[in-house]
Amino acid sequence: MIGKNRRKRTWFAAAVLAAGSLVATSLPAHAETGVSASEIKLGITLPLTGAASPGYNKVGDAMNAYFKYVNDNGGVYGRKITLIQKNDEYSPTLAVAKTNELILKDKVFALVGSLGTANHKAVAKSVGLQRRGIPDLFINTGFSGFADKKVYGTTFPLFPSYYMEAKIMAEFIKDNYAGKTLGLVYQNDDFGSDAVKGFAQAGLKFDVTIPYTSGTQSASTAQTWVSQLAAGKAQVVVMFGVTSATGPLLAVAAAAKYAPQWILGSVGGDATTLRALGVPAAVLTGAQGASFLPSPGDTSDEYVKLFQEVNAKYNNNVAFDNNVLVGMNTAMLTVQALRAAGQNLTRRGLIRAIQSKGSKFASAGLAPLNWSSSSQVGYNGYWFGQYDSAGNMKPLSGGVVVYTTDNAKGAVVKSNYKRPAMPAKGLPNNS
Amino acid sequence: MRKRLLFFILLGWVLLIVGDRVDELRVYQGAQISMYAIALSSIVLLTGYSGQVSLGNGAMMAVGGYAAALTLNNLQTPIWFAFLMSILASAIFGALLGASAARLSGPYLAGTTLALAVGLPALANQFGFLGGEQGILFDVGFPPERFGEEFSQYKWFFWIATFIALISLFITSNILHSRFGRTWRAIRGNSLAAELAGVHSARMKVLAFTISSAIAGLAGAVLAMTISLVSPGAYTLSLSFALVTGAVLAGISSLPGVMLGAVILVAIPEFADVVAHRLGDSEKVITHLPGLIVSVLLILSVIFTPNGPGENLRKHRKKKSAH
């Protein structure tokens, strides 16, 4: 009898153990927010409507197109990527509200490619991205402050900072336009101020300086800018603003027959968007600008060629411009980051993977990536070119020459960086 | 008054427990409900009691929000002082506005305050120290470490917002039950009769405007806290309309109704989201549907229940109990 009871107890214990093991093995090791056996949910906030939306509203769809391409080719370790886009109208208030929706309601695994300096500062603070360990990948802003690991520990900037861009641009101007009267129009917030600090660090002084408040850009405000620039006889004018400010400035200047040498910052220099905003092709032709990516019209570049194919198949073949290129490049980096984090995907694992392997990721960028355990900086260099009549930025004589620098007092140096070859068919296979 | 105090303490205790039991989304929405409750109470006091129609509450909130942020950022003061300054600044602004608008009534006053709602937040674009369209940060900091790692930022917002809302509603409730509340109701009922009874109608109206602005300013600072910044985009015309709608739906002269109104205002975007999803997630629908719902509710309410469904229910209940 005793033996029978003992046997019963042993069977019972074994059954419980077996059932427990079964349950344990059938459950994922760690149920991470936004990750299931078949899906990875990502989120982005960007201006889909509103004054700042022209151009930027294409970034999310471009990312989605590349993710669809990857999903159709097996996804990331069998998981399909879903990108949820939310419209923040370039308003920090809405950006916070929409990011809260993404995190609390849609329960995304990570944020990717979110756009706007002020928006993102508010989001990082209000939502507490660092404190909650939410990965905030490849943000679409170059504010140098985001590279501060202590404050934005889970945020990975992708663009070279505006501070770096200004330092590099200052050297370019000193080399090419010494002795000319210089003008600067810039957005009077963290975005533009970052650039102003960079110019000051490089020792470049402007004869006419015009700050403008974000949201006030229009044809009538551009009229006052042009009047001031013309009155100051500025021969070379640097525009450090969003596209919706650059557009009216160029259009109004052309109408007033004021034609300085324009040098456009990377944020507001997308040719397709500028032309959609009414800038005549003739005005843009000859303007100079900076970029860390190949020209969107350069089909000899393997990344551009692939992205154009993806654009044709998955993105309704929209006009392929810098915004589409940025979106797809961001998406390709995201896929590599997700792969590098391994099959057992966690937020912490993703952040570590970018820190340890991010600098080796393949991308269309012509400047090096700098993510590491001690650096949150993405690209750190630019090349300068001139817009042709088709709106493509062509390198100045001597081909593409990339210059790199840092977020501090480091010098601007010529880069020897060799870009990694694109993975076969543009489908990352890293681990 | 003691009963009222006990009620608010009990309500606070219940909310604290509920806040601990629900997920983060609901906690965040709880903070928004508290903010709306404060804002709606300012309309109840102004419109429901003193009879002055204002469509500019969003502007008053902006004054409070900017005052709190500028105080915190420039003087590095404790949070409570920033909230205090939001009350003070908006009260002064309200007093000035009330004095200049004392001669106006009905649609004229509504028109003036509407212009304020449109123009005032946009003023931020004209002055660099207000941060333009991008605004300025309003950072109340992380929750104290003694609350533990699990205590989220959202819960911290919820606690602060709820604490402020309970105190604000308690004080407002006492004011409305005092002789001031009775005087305002008398003015609202018949201004001439009230003056014949010795009430200084204009002075009392300015006082109502001042107190209402102070409360709205406080709500503006709470709103700024929940999004960690102040910017014109936070205090739009649609916010002013949403507040009026919430107050009307809750019963324009019912202070307890503000809770219902606040819940409705938080629920509208949720409802709009579900509808937009069914309609195929069109960006235009998602962007404009909440505003459309607010407008339709306001129009329907004004047509069928001019004082709001809440007020009708209350009257219906009173009639029933009289029988």
CATH superfamily ID and name for A39-160+296-380: Response regulator (3.40.50.2300)
What residues does each domain of chain A span? Answer: 39-160+296-380, 163-291
**% of chain A with per-residue pLDDT over 70:** 93
* Interface probe, candidates B227, B268, B271, chain A, greatest A C-beta count within 10 A: B227
Name residues whose C-beta falls within 8 Å of residue B50's C-beta, 6 or more positions apart in sequence.
B184, B187, B188, B204, B205, B208, B209, B212
pTM: 0.79
A81, two tokens: 């990527």
pLDDT of residue B322: 64
pLDDT of residue B259: 85
pLDDT of residue B281: 64
**Average pLDDT for A9-26:** 42
Q: What's the CA gap between B307 and A99, in Å, rounded?
A: 36
Q: What is the pLDDT of residues A81-114, one digit of tens each?
A: 999 999 888 888 888 888 988 998 899 999 999 8
Q: What's the CA gap between B124 and B101, in Å, rounded?
A: 23
- Give yes or no for a contact between B27 and B154, defined as CB atoms under 8 angstroms apart: yes
Nearest to B283 among A48, A190, A213 (CB): A48
Q: Which of A210-219, A250-259, A325-334, A399-408 is the least confident region?
A: A210-219
| Of the candidates A32, A60, A45, the residue with the CA atom closest to the CA atom of residue A133 | A32
- CATH number for domain A163-291, candidates 3.40.50.2300, 1.20.950.20, 2.30.30.40, 3.65.10.10: 3.40.50.2300
pLDDT above 50: residue A18: no
B79, two tokens: 């949070």
**Average pLDDT for A343-371:** 94
- Give yes or no for a contact between A99 and A70, defined as CB atoms under 8 angstroms apart: no
Under 8 Å CB pairs connecting chains A and B tally to: 91
Domains A39-160+296-380 and A163-291 share a fold: yes
* Interface probe, candidates B28, B66, B133, B153, chain A, greatest A C-beta count within 10 A: B133
pLDDT less than 50: residues of chain B? none
Residues 179-218 of chain A with CB under 8 A from chain B are: 188-190, 211, 213-216
pLDDT of residue A346: 95
Concatenate the DSSP letters of all residues of A360-373 into one string: G---S-SS-B--SS
pLDDT of residue A14: 40
**Average pLDDT for A37-60:** 88
Residues 282-311 of chain A with CB under 8 A from chain B are: none
Give how far Cα A422 sits from Cα of A157, A211, A364, A425, B269, Å. 22, 41, 8, 8, 44
